[in-house]
Amino acid sequence: MPESTKKATLNIDGKSFELPMYSPTAGPDVIDIRKLYADAGVFTYDPGFTSTASCDSTITFIDGGKGELLHRGYPIDQLAGKSHYLEVCFLLLYGYLPSAAELEDFETRVTRHTMVHEQMHYFFRGFRRDSHPMATLVGVVGAMSAFYHDSTDVGDPWHREVAAIRLIAKLPTIAAMAYKYSIGQPFVYPRNDLDYASNFLHMCFSVPAEDYHVNPIIARAMDRIFILHADHEQNASTSTVRLASSSGANPFACIAAGIACLWGPAHGGANQACLEMLREIGTVDRIPEFIARAKDKNDPFRLMGFGHRVYKNTDPRAKVLKQSADEVLELLGVDDNPLLQVAKELEQVALNDPYFVEKKLFPNVDFYSGIILEAIGFPTSMFTPIFALSRTVGWISQWKEMIDDPQMKIGRPRQLYLGETNRDYVDIENR
């Protein structure tokens, strides 16, 4: 923690309380309220954590005003354009860009952990074939703690390292298995001669009946999608992983909790909800009807893929994905895709509508990702599992940072209680 450079003074009922403040390397100053309750007997109140820093971190920084996203200081557009996913994984996990030898060693370690325990194949059999792949993912990832007992002791640095590698390596295999299971096709084993993105595509789209050749442009687009979803500060699912981990729960259970949180349509589930919305809109001439609904306070409908708690200018990931969508659809000869036409027109209409401008609602990471994933051949039900496998490295990096923090305590928020005060039980005959 940095030294406290200044103080905040809180006046309550004529009494003054001084609170230390810290200045970050980037972003707003913070007020340390850890002793507030002990000193002043009051809680702070911030249900959506809109003004609360839950931890200190050195991994990812977002400037919502500028639309800037940095991973260990490197801008996301540079990483998306010049790096590849496993190198970004190394950067997030260890804090620096690896040498060629370090990168080769890391890629080899991940590659050697891509297979899952053979017994896990039978674990899938318990699910209905029409289960949503996210339901399967939550179940199977949580069950990893029943298969990999030799990497569940969070107090052992070696266990932590192996668990991190296993999760990064096996999430694509498990996500691909969830997809294959849902369409009644046999599981496809990972291959060590393929890069991370190509391996995932191969496990999803190859069948035993014929050879499958990965299109390198598609593999590059897949890898870029993984990079763009890798980490994002203390978002809802990362905060879930941190809170679950603060009790000392094993990493597989904590990542399963993060996957469960990501599933929500307000969070990672928005990519599936966005594509379903674009399909419901169907044609450009129906856009005004949906814009009106999004603005209607009495209608719960929201434009999925729009808005963000932090970005109030633009989501830098959406800019990269929009460019990638154009490239992939042109390559696949579907650049006249009606969904892309509706998405681009919807974006233009919303960006020029006073409601969305005033509320600073811009396309977020989920707005274009679904269009690319659908063009590659994934059903909408696989969009959020792909977000989850991409974000696993972010969750694990934040988990490691927290576990290594000597200040770590179990997370235990308090509340503003508005319920009944103490009262006596009433026997049923007297009610």
Among positions 216-255, residues that touch ligand SDX (CB under 6 A) are 232, 235
**CB-wise, 139 or 305, nearer to ligand SDX?**
305
Residue whose CB is nearest to ligand SDX in the complex, by number: 307
**x/- binding map, residues 30-59, to ligand SDX, per CB under 6 A?**
------------------x-----------
Distance (Å, whole) CA 134 – CA 380: 11
* Annotated active-site residue in 195, 223, 231, 366: 366
**x/- binding map, residues 308-347, to ligand SDX, per CB under 6 A?**
xx--------------------------------------
Distance (Å, whole) CA 236 – CA 265: 12
Please indicate whether residue 150 is annotated as part of the active site.
no
Please indicate whether residue 132 is annotated as part of the active site.
no
Asked if residue 395 binds ligand SDX (CB under 6 A), the reply is no
**Least spacing, CB of residue 48 vs ligand SDX, in Å:** 6
Asked if residue 302 binds ligand SDX (CB under 6 A), the reply is yes
202 vs 198, 220, 343, 380, CA distance in Å?
A: 6, 14, 29, 18
| 12, 146, 207, 266: which one binds ligand SDX (CB under 6 A) | 266
Asked if residue 79 binds ligand SDX (CB under 6 A), the reply is no
Among positions 340-379, residues that touch ligand SDX (CB under 6 A) are 359, 361, 364-366
**CB-wise, 173 or 364, nearer to ligand SDX?**
364
**Least spacing, CB of residue 173 vs ligand SDX, in Å:** 23
Among positions 282-301, residues that touch ligand SDX (CB under 6 A) are 294
Asked if residue 398 binds ligand SDX (CB under 6 A), the reply is no
**Least spacing, CB of residue 241 vs ligand SDX, in Å:** 12
**CB-wise, 178 or 230, nearer to ligand SDX?**
230
261 CB contacts (<8 Å, ≥6 apart)?
236, 237, 240, 267
**Least spacing, CB of residue 386 vs ligand SDX, in Å:** 13
Asked if residue 109 binds ligand SDX (CB under 6 A), the reply is no
Asked if residue 390 binds ligand SDX (CB under 6 A), the reply is no
**CB-wise, 180 or 317, nearer to ligand SDX?**
317
103 CB contacts (<8 Å, ≥6 apart)?
86, 87, 90
**Least spacing, CB of residue 339 vs ligand SDX, in Å:** 16
**CB-wise, 366 or 374, nearer to ligand SDX?**
366
* Annotated active-site residue in 308, 336, 353, 405: 308
Active site residue ranges = 308, 366
Binding residues vs ligand SDX (CB under 6 A): 48, 232, 235, 266-268, 270, 294, 302-309, 359, 361, 364-366
